[in-house]
Structure 1
Amino acid sequence: MTRPALDYPEVPVGAILAGAARRFGDRTAFRHHDDELTFSRLWTQACRFANGLVGRGVRPGDRVALVMPNCLAFPVAYYGLLLAGATFVPVNPLMPEPAVRAQIEDAEAKVVLKAADVATVGQGQPDTPPDVEIDIHHHLAHLAYTGGTTGLSKGVRLPHRNVVVNTLQFACWQTGGVPALDDEGGLVLNQVNDPGEYRARVGAGVAINLTPWFHAMGTIAGLNVTILAGTSVVLHDRFDPVAYLADAEKRQVTYVGGAPALFAGLLACPAIHTTDLSSVTGIGSGAAPMPMEMTRALQRLMPKAVIVEGYGLTEVTMGAASSPVAVSATRKVGTVGLPVFDTEIKVVPVEGGEEPLPAGERGEVCIRGPQVMLGYHNRPADTADVLVDGWLHTGDIGVLDADGYLSIVDRKKDMLIYKGYNVYPRELEELLVAHPGVVMAAVVGRKSVEVGELPVAFVVPARPDVTAEQLMADINAKVVPYKRLREVILTDQIPVSAAGKILKRELRQLLLESS
């Protein structure tokens, strides 16, 4: 299924900030603790930073690694390096030092910067952008690394065109707007929809953000889309659910976005039942599938909110599908919605082949669209494995229904084989999360010579009196014999990545060590 087309202006990523700075001026772009950054001040500082990089010998195509958490220095450095024609290499500062070094070396970064370096680079520089030539189709805007939740992290090559396109796909999807250019070539959104249908209003929203900007969802949705839409963002650099909820009430937040792990933490916090969240009109989830019971719980607490789930991966810049946002549109709980503009999605047999399966059949999700990567950095064999005639093979198992709505069943690598039967961990995880005694759950396989893999659940219990035996009995009563859990392990926490994805490789390692 292919969505309607958009007209994407031929501009580099810096045009996103240029248009927003002229349009929104002194409106707060980002607030972090007691400091804030307006749109116009962000533009000025980014231009100075860009000139500082050029003065240090950075040329178009050079890689600049940013090793920093979400802070006010981050967008200055991000837009500044792009205005200089350099390539953004996001690095998770919480990774072990050897992993940081390995990623920087793999990216062949010319410059490595931390937050404290940003002010120094831009000191005393002109506040207009440098005159550099950027080929939007070939110069990389991002060399972004995959999360590595299932294996070795790989660099994904994303030119300026990809970043602008994917930003517009989601900004227009969320606001009902259309792209345009201002008189000086800056990118803007013209909102041409019924305000009763699209609650996100350009230049009026307030979002709260914990999603790291070094992750694809953070860079595109949490940074570029918010800038283009003129949204004021309240930044949090660590998850304190009480403080998070207090800020949402104090700042009259209209939009809350993040991974399911964030929402699980909020729902487990007693303060959510006494916090005034009546200002929230939009909730967005991504990075991992949201359990259906979680969606229902959030809807009960914030009845005015339109709750949408999106789907994507670094290889498609960020996203490829999303629940419809218009108030009267059909949103199917448990699905990640429809393909966004100019995007095709098909489901093919897991064992191989390119022919689409009929609606309702499970298979590997494949994506084709203008946001699909050029390929992996210095990995031609890996690129050839996943890109076939323009189609990206995602490694995710999904189902398209008759209306074109996509459901993600599981990761191809997470699927278990028990006595020849396919067992999908997400199906068991949905049942576990819906259980009143469970806060969070993840299911992985324990290797077995006799049967292949045994489903094992790691569970964060909601109460001290929850027992593994009773949980396993409750869940197994709802599934056919070959899908039954063979073990439940109660734990205080389940490991997640900085982006909120459950790190199943760590859980598998725990099982291996305990065998």
Structure 2
Amino acid sequence: KQVVTLSLLDFFPPAKKALIGFVMKRVKKVIPSIKTPHITMVAALAKGKKAAQGIDIASYSSHVQPTDTAIYQYTSGTTGRSKGAELSHQGILANSFQARLMTQSVMGGNGETTLIALPLYHITAFALIFLAGISDGGHGILAPSPRPPSNLKAAFEKYTITWFTGINTLFAAMTVEPWFDKKLFENLRFCGSGGAAQQTGVAVRWNELTGISINQGYGMTECCGVITLNPVADNRLGTVGIPVPGMDLRIVDDNGVDVPLGTPGEVIFKGPTIMKGYLGRPDATAESIKDGWLYSGDIGVIDEDGFVEIVDRKKDMILVSGFNVSPNEIEDAISMLPGVVQVGVIGVADEKSGEVPVAFVVTKDPALSADVVIEHCRKSLTKYKIPKKVVFVDDVPVTLSGKVLRRQLRDEYLA
């Protein structure tokens, strides 16, 4: 096994590479020293090219089977240390095909022009955007970084973007950009959302400003990408849609027994895209995969039409006087308030109730007050779900896939 490092610096001319490298490593110190034995991507490619001379390239993959390991894709690590999911060729290609089956009704005949704003090391961008786009003969426009959102303006102005997949925080940030104009999005045929809960308020605002709805999906690194997706013809805000073709999904209690429709329980699933296991973590693999079913750690509900709603992560639930409260539900309610750009909710210790919700809000409206937020919550939430406190902040920490970093939120503002 060989560690291969990849840096954009490797592809710059020598003078620029030396200058930028010095600034990034010595001045800004954003590139750490790597103590692990490794080889650069450029050196690895050169080594491979030399070794391939006189060899039949086709024979290189002739022995590869569909179930063989293709990549080790690392999880986001929001609830613990990041783990390497061992994904097969079959799983990655099957997941790409599953997504295509769910969206083919809005695909153009000459391939899509997709704006890739998510990092390619994230499973959604890699399998569902990059690989799926290549297989359909699409044109990918790579945005090195969507932060700030103004970085995306040039792409929408220069190219006819027809396909765009983002995350809740990106959609929210774009809608308040001064350059945001409906004309830039008039060629869009599909907008997808994943990685984190798509707040209804943000989705409604996006639709009002662009005329395009956001189809939310649900997936995990451990299944090569997507598990459920809202059908194009029946997009239901607040849900993550229905299982993609070939994917079996159940909602179970703590004993692994199916719960009645409409009853919250853990989401488990099975299909051709399930990972082979976690790299070097047989204990974690055995805990996650039981009898072929992968236990997600997410709490969900299925309605009578088969649409799935993700309530929250098991570990993120807030226990208020014995009642389980979902931070996502509170965040979704607050997101409906005009002026709210971003919101994160955590539980804090309380002598009377055990825990109480506290909301951290980013707003563009200086007139928005904590009393207004709480009064709004009273209209849409049960009493024990109403935040005990509202704190206005400049930023809510999230992962690159848009998930609220609740541990960091607690450390930064409640330390």
Q: TM-score range by the shorter chain?
A: 0.7 to 0.9
Quick check: 1:265 aligned with 2:173? yes
In 2, the alpha carbon distance for the partners of 1:117 and 1:275 equals 45
| Secondary structure of the corresponding residue to residue 347 of structure 1 | strand
Equivalent in the alignment of 1:288: 196
- Give the alignment of 1:207-222 within 5 angstroms: 207-222=114-129
Equivalent in the alignment of 1:168: 97
Equivalent in the alignment of 2:252: 348
- Cα deviation for residue 274 of structure 1 reads 5.6
In 1, the alpha carbon distance for the partners of 2:11 and 2:56 equals 20
- Give the alignment of 1:80-95 within 5 angstroms: none
- Cα deviation for residue 469 of structure 1 reads 3.6
Query: 504-513 or 161-170: which moved more?
Result: 504-513
Amino acid at match of 1:155: G
| Secondary structure of the corresponding residue to residue 57 of structure 2 | coil
Aligned partner (choices 27, 40, 43) of residue 113 of structure 1: 40
CA deviations on 1:438-487 (whole Å, 9 max, x unpaired) are 11101011123442222111111122232234323332453222112011
Equivalent in the alignment of 2:59: 131
- Give the alignment of 1:45-84 within 5 angstroms: 62=1, 65-68=4-7
- Cα deviation for residue 512 of structure 1 reads 4.6
Quick check: 1:465 aligned with 2:367? yes
Equivalent in the alignment of 1:413: 315
- Cα deviation for residue 332 of structure 1 reads 1.3
- Cα deviation for residue 369 of structure 1 reads 0.5
Equivalent in the alignment of 1:370: 272
| Secondary structure of the corresponding residue to residue 383 of structure 1 | helix
Amino acid at match of 1:336: V
Does the C-alpha gap of structure 1 residues 484 and 306 become closer, same or farther in structure 2, counting only changes over 3 Å? Answer: closer
In 1, the alpha carbon distance for the partners of 2:163 and 2:408 equals 32
TM superposition score normalised by structure 1? 0.71
Are the equivalent residues in 2 in contact too, given 1:140–1:160 (CA < 8 A)?
yes
The count of residues paired between Structure 1 and Structure 2 equals 395
- Cα deviation for residue 437 of structure 1 reads 2.6
CA deviations on 1:5-36 (whole Å, 9 max, x unpaired) are xxxxxxxxxxxxxxxxxxxxxxxxxxxxxxxx
Equivalent in the alignment of 1:277: 185
Gaps of 5+ in 1: 1-61, 74-93, 176-197
Are the equivalent residues in 1 in contact too, given 2:206–2:213 (CA < 8 A)?
no
Equivalent in the alignment of 1:18: none
In 1, the alpha carbon distance for the partners of 2:10 and 2:140 equals 11
In 2, the alpha carbon distance for the partners of 1:139 and 1:469 equals 57
Aligned partner (choices 404, 411, 415) of residue 509 of structure 1: 411
TM superposition score normalised by structure 2? 0.87
Does the C-alpha gap of structure 1 residues 242 and 274 become closer, same or farther in structure 2, counting only changes over 3 Å? Answer: farther
Are the equivalent residues in 1 in contact too, given 2:182–2:209 (CA < 8 A)?
no
CA deviations on 1:357-411 (whole Å, 9 max, x unpaired) are 1111111111111111111111111111111111111011111111111111111
Are the equivalent residues in 1 in contact too, given 2:197–2:403 (CA < 8 A)?
no
Gaps of 5+ in 2: 13-28
CA deviations on 1:291-331 (whole Å, 9 max, x unpaired) are 1122222222232x453111111111111111113xxx222
Amino acid at match of 1:409: V
Equivalent in the alignment of 2:241: 337
- Cα deviation for residue 210 of structure 1 reads 1.2
Equivalent in the alignment of 2:224: 317
In 2, the alpha carbon distance for the partners of 1:373 and 1:146 equals 12
In 1, the alpha carbon distance for the partners of 2:68 and 2:263 equals 39
Runs of 4 or more consecutive aligned structure 1 residues displaced over 3 Å after TM superposition: 62-73, 94-98, 110-114, 116-130
Does the C-alpha gap of structure 1 residues 494 and 120 become closer, same or farther in structure 2, counting only changes over 3 Å? Answer: farther
Q: Percent identity?
A: 31
CA deviations on 1:169-223 (whole Å, 9 max, x unpaired) are 1123222xxxxxxxxxxxxxxxxxxxxxx22125331111111111111110121
- Give the alignment of 1:220-259 within 5 angstroms: 220-239=127-146, 240-259=148-167
Does the C-alpha gap of structure 1 residues 380 and 274 become closer, same or farther in structure 2, counting only changes over 3 Å? Answer: closer
Does the C-alpha gap of structure 1 residues 342 and 478 become closer, same or farther in structure 2, counting only changes over 3 Å? Answer: closer
In 1, the alpha carbon distance for the partners of 2:337 and 2:296 equals 31
Equivalent in the alignment of 1:298: 206
Equivalent in the alignment of 1:19: none
Does the C-alpha gap of structure 1 residues 294 and 382 become closer, same or farther in structure 2, counting only changes over 3 Å? Answer: same
Amino acid at match of 1:486: K
Does the C-alpha gap of structure 1 residues 422 and 200 become closer, same or farther in structure 2, counting only changes over 3 Å? Answer: same
Are the equivalent residues in 2 in contact too, given 1:288–1:501 (CA < 8 A)?
yes
Amino acid at match of 1:256: F
| Secondary structure of the corresponding residue to residue 465 of structure 1 | coil
In 2, the alpha carbon distance for the partners of 1:418 and 1:96 equals 43
Are the equivalent residues in 2 in contact too, given 1:71–1:237 (CA < 8 A)?
no
Are the equivalent residues in 2 in contact too, given 1:202–1:230 (CA < 8 A)?
no
Aligned alpha-carbon RMSD (Å): 2.7
CA deviations on 1:244-294 (whole Å, 9 max, x unpaired) are 134213211101111111111111213213643111111011101111122
- Cα deviation for residue 97 of structure 1 reads 4.2
In 1, the alpha carbon distance for the partners of 2:179 and 2:214 equals 21
| Secondary structure of the corresponding residue to residue 335 of structure 1 | coil
- Cα deviation for residue 342 of structure 1 reads 0.7
Are the equivalent residues in 1 in contact too, given 2:182–2:210 (CA < 8 A)?
no
Aligned partner (choices 402, 406, 410) of residue 500 of structure 1: 402
